[in-house]
């Protein structure tokens, strides 16, 4: 079988197309792999965010203390923090209230977090 020039070119083209197709497949696989690697990283980041978000009053992780629907008044919130021996300024158990130097962001009352500050706002 004798290949004419055009047949040779055709053969070459087919080879090239095959190479291009292979490369495309390779790129596709690389992209899929990369997406698989990115996804867990995103999930971890989201989980970390959830860990940070914790209500100091009802200890649920779905909201911050300031958004708490269980303990809504500053009176209730102060009561629950006192019961657990937590600082009314920084929420830490180890803290001696006032010593941490926290103030309400709103009125500047010492030793109280804005979320349950009894001061007048
Ligand atoms: Zn809550
Ligand atoms: Zn404190
Ligand atoms: Zn205040």
For residue range 74-112, what is the model confidence (pLDDT) as tens digits?
999 999 999 999 999 999 998 976 779 999 999 999 999
Please tell me the total number of residues recorded for the chain in this structure: 121
**Cα 39 to ligand 1 centroid, rounded to whole Å:** 30
**Cα 66 to ligand 2 centroid, rounded to whole Å:** 17
* Ligand positioned closest to the Cα atom of 100: 2
d(CA 85, CA 56): 12
**Cα 100 to ligand 1 centroid, rounded to whole Å:** 23
- Decide if pLDDT at 12 tops 90: no
Q: Quote the pTM value.
A: 0.57
Both tokens assigned to 33: 């792999």
**Cα 10 to ligand 3 centroid, rounded to whole Å:** 82
- If one counts every other C-beta atom within 10 angstroms of the C-beta of residue 86, the result is 19
* Ligand positioned closest to the Cα atom of 101: 2
- Decide if pLDDT at 115 tops 90: yes
In the chain, what is the straight-line distance between the N-terminal and C-terminal CA atoms, in Å? 96
**Cα 45 to ligand 2 centroid, rounded to whole Å:** 28
Q: Looking at per-residue confidence, does 117 or 38 come out higher?
A: 117
């Amino acid at each position: 079988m004798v290949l004419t020039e055009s047949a040779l070119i055709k053969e070459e083209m087919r080879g090239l197309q095959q190479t291009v197709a292979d490369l495309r497949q390779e790129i596709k696989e690389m992209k899929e792999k990369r997406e698989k690697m990115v996804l867990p990283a995103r999930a971890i980041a989201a989980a970390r965010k959830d860990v940070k978000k914790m209500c100091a009053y009802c200890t649920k992780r779905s909201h911050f203390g300031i958004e708490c629907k269980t303990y809504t008044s500053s009176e209730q919130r102060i009561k629950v923090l006192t019961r657990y021996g937590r600082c009314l300024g920084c929420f830490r158990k180890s803290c001696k209230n006032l010593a941490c130097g926290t103030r309400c962001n709103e009125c500047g009352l010492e030793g109280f977090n804005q979320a349950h500050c009894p001061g007048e706002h």
